[in-house]
Amino acid sequence: MDIEVTQTGATAGAQRVGRRHLLGAGLGGAALSLLPFLSGRARAEAAPEETTTVPKAPTSDDIALLASAQQLELTVRDLYDSAIAAVAGWSDTQAAVMVAIREAHEEFANSLSGLLGREAPGTRSDSLFDGQVGSLAGTPDEALMAAAELESGAVATHAEILGALQSFNGAELIAAIQMAEARHCTVLAHLADSRDYAVLLVDEEAASLQVNG
């Protein structure tokens, strides 16, 4: 339906709005309406630079440290394998604990692999293994005390690594491993019939372990 309106006057002809004007006005309005959104987005993207400088993922330096931590864990796992096989006379409880701790070290190494990806060495430190393998021997109690000392050394090593790591993810994983290994010390010493609080609570932490390839 058309509605006819009759308008008179000299300016009536000039008020007609053409299609081009309409499109132009529409595009201009749309562009202007987008301005606040675009400027807000620009501000939102700039904000994270001001929040934190601590990286979440491991840095290149962190990767070297985490790789040495993985080698340490694989070495300790192999040392447990050696002790479990070489020492005679394990009680059922002792054997169960030794195997469980051995499994724990393997899982620590696997978790570090997950963080390192292709950079994970995936091999033990032969020099560390050769230097320690002789101590995890003798009677079960002697081997248990040697294993407790080894765990204490691992705790000290992880403390050094933690002090150098920059990334949150790497530090978080190393802390979780270190905390578990701390409990291992007490359990192994208790299993070896030690009732000395200084030994069970490890008043003197062992020296850190050297991982050299």
- Please state the length of the chain: 213
Taking the C-alpha atoms of residue 73 and residue 151, their distance in angstroms, rounded to an integer, is 10
Pick from 109, 145, 150, 185 the residue near other proteins by CB under 8 A. Answer: 185
CA 105 centroid distance within chain: 16
- The DSSP element (H or E) to which 44 belongs, if any, is helix 19-46
**Residue among 205, 72, 193, 202 at smallest CA distance from 139:** 193
Say whether residue 159 binds other proteins (CB under 8 A).
yes
110 interacts with other proteins by CB under 8 A: no
CB 71 within 8 A of CB 125: yes
Q: Is 3 left (phi over 0), alpha (psi -120 to 50) or beta?
A: beta
164 interacts with other proteins by CB under 8 A: yes
Should residue 90 be labelled a site residue for other proteins when binding is judged by CB under 8 A? no
Minimum CB distance to other proteins smaller for 97 or for 146: 97
Q: How far is the CB of 127 from other proteins (least distance, A)?
A: 25
Among 84, 95, 133, 187, binds other proteins (CB under 8 A): 187
Contact between 115 and other proteins per CB under 8 A: no
Q: Which of 84, 95, 133, 200 binds other proteins (CB under 8 A)?
A: 200
| 202 near other proteins, rule: CB under 8 A | yes
29 is a site residue for other proteins (CB under 8 A): yes
